[in-house]
């Protein structure tokens, strides 16, 4: 991890099926964050498209497609680490794509690719009924990217509910956890912040959580909670985005990670191990 503090930004968007508008909005906020001095900028889940699920599969792109090419160029132009929170990546499975995060370095190089492992199949009410697995194929790999800013553990949205994934990221020496999301309004207002703070506390990592906010034209009643957050390794919320498109900006201090882990070496004290 870098020796000195640096600024990070979690982007909040309200995406729809209009891919051009989504990417223009994302690009404008990434540029704003970089203009403030952010060296790590992350966008939410479904950054390029949040519309009908069949269209999501039909419009899926490869890793060298237009969305990733745009983000690679933006990272290189601005000289930042840039996380494309997720996009619909083409897969080898008929009728399904991957929900994929991609991390780019300041030279535009692709540093890591993570495909969402835990898929959002739930039936809470008429307003919150969804089967992500109908159109998305799950990933298999736990991914931590070594960067000049630290080791960044990748995850997406519903992954947040599965502590074993974050323990695995910590076991691979993650310092920062990325949690791009489109949490529903129903679940988000009760669970979003408590779960993010829990993951920060139990792993003693910073958490950068960009988010979708508002209604989407996905053919249902879907509304995202928003409240993009950055949390420190003590579980303190450092920054929260207001409603609507915007940013949560906060300083990440590697020395704070080291101090907390030295004072309370939770990872070394574990007795029960997953698996």
Residue of 15, 97, 157, 205 with catalytic role: 157
Q: Is residue 272 part of a domain?
A: no
Token pair for 241: 């985005």
Pick from 39, 20, 18, 19: nearest CA to 30:
39
Q: What is residue 130's predicted lDDT score, i.e. its pLDDT?
A: 77
pLDDT tens digits for range 31-87 = 999 999 999 999 999 999 999 888 999 999 999 999 999 999 999 999 999 999 999
Q: Give domain status of residue 275, yes or no.
A: no
In-domain check, residue 271? no
Confidence of residue 219 (pLDDT cuts 50, 70, 90): low
3-state secondary structure of 93: coil
pLDDT in the model for residue 273: 74
Whether 67 is covered by a domain: the verdict is yes
Find the catalytic residue in 45, 61, 89, 132: 45
Partners of residue 87 on adjacent β-strands: 100
- Asked if the structure places residue 273 within a domain, the reply is no
How far, in Å, CA of 119 to CA of 117, rounded?
Answer: 6
Selection from 11, 52, 16 nearest residue 180 by Cα:
11
The per-residue pLDDT of the chain, averaged, comes to 95
Q: What is the pLDDT of residue 22?
A: 98
Element (H, E) at 91: none
Residue 275 has pLDDT above 60, yes or no: no
Residues 6+ apart with CB under 8 A from 53: 134, 135, 218, 219
165 is a domain residue:
yes
Task: Determine which one of 61, 116, 205, 223 is catalytic.
Answer: 116
What does the DSSP assignment read for 180-192? Answer: -B--BHHHHHHHH
126: domain CATH number is: 3.60.110.10
Catalytic site includes residue 157:
yes
User: pLDDT tens digits, residue range 142-196?
Assistant: 999 999 999 999 999 999 999 999 999 999 999 999 999 999 998 999 999 999 9
* pLDDT at residue 17 in the model: 95
pLDDT tens digits along 3-38: 799 999 999 999 999 999 999 999 999 999 999 999
Burial of residue 92 (number of CB atoms within 10 Å: 0-12, 13-18, 19+): exposed
116 is catalytic: yes
How many domains does the chain fold into? Answer: 1
DSSP string, 74-122: HHHHHTSEEEEEEEEEE-SSTT-EEEEEEEE-TTS-EEEEEE--S--EE
- Catalytic: 15? no
What is the reported pLDDT for 196?
98
CA distance 43 to 13: 8
Question: Which burial class, exposed, middle or buried, applies to 104 when counting CB atoms under 10 A from its CB (0-12, 13-18, 19+)?
Answer: buried
Closest among 187, 130, 185, 119 to 156, alpha carbons compared: 119
Supply the pLDDT for residue 54. Answer: 87
Nearest alpha-carbon partner for 54 in 134, 173, 121, 110? 134
Neighbour-count burial of 187, counting CB atoms closer than 10 A to its CB (0-12 exposed, 13-18 middle, 19+ buried): middle
* Percentage of the chain lying above the pLDDT 90 cut: 88
- Would 160 be classed as within a structural domain? yes
Domain that holds residue 54: 6-265
For 221-231, the pLDDT digits (tens) are 579 999 999 99
pLDDT at 187: 92
In a domain, 274, yes or no: no
Grade residue 217 by pLDDT with cuts at 50, 70 and 90.
Answer: confident
Written as six digits, the tokens of 187 are 């679940």
Cβ count within 10 A of residue 23: 21
Q: Binning pLDDT at 50, 70 and 90, where does residue 126 land?
A: low
> What is the pLDDT confidence band of residue 1, given thresholds at 50, 70 and 90?
low
pLDDT at 127: 58
């Amino acid at each position: 991890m870098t020796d000195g503090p640096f600024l990070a930004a979690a982007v909040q968007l309200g995406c729809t099926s209009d891919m051009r508008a989504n990417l223009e909005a994302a690009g404008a906020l990434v540029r704003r964050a970089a203009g403030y001095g952010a060296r790590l900028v992350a966008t939410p889940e479904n950054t390029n498209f949040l519309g009908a699920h069949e269209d999501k599969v039909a419009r899926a792109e490869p890793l060298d497609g237009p969305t990733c090419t745009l983000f690679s160029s933006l990272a290189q132009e601005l000289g930042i680490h840039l996380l494309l929170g997720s996009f619909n990546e083409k897969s080898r499975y008929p009728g399904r794509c991957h929900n994929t995060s991609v991390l780019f370095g300041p030279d535009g190089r692709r540093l890591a690719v993570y495909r969402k492992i835990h898929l959002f199949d739930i039936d809470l009410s008429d307003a919150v009924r969804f089967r992500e697995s109908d159109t998305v194929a799950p990933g298999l790999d736990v991914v931590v990217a070594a960067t000049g800013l630290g080791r960044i553990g990748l995850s997406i949205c519903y992954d947040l509910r599965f502590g074993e994934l974050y323990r695995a990221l910590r076991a691979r020496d993650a310092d920062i956890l990325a949690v791009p999301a489109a949490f529903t309004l129903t679940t988000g207002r009760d669970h979003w912040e408590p779960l993010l703070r829990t993951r920060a506390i139990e792993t003693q990592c910073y958490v950068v959580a960009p988010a979708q906010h508002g209604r989407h034209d996905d053919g249902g009643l879907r509304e995202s909670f928003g409240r993009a957050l950055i949390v420190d390794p003590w579980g303190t919320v450092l920054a929260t985005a207001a409603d609507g498109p915007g940013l949560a900006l906060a300083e990440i201090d590697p020395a704070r990670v080291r101090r907390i882990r030295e004072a309370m070496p939770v990872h070394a004290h574990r007795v029960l191990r997953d698996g």
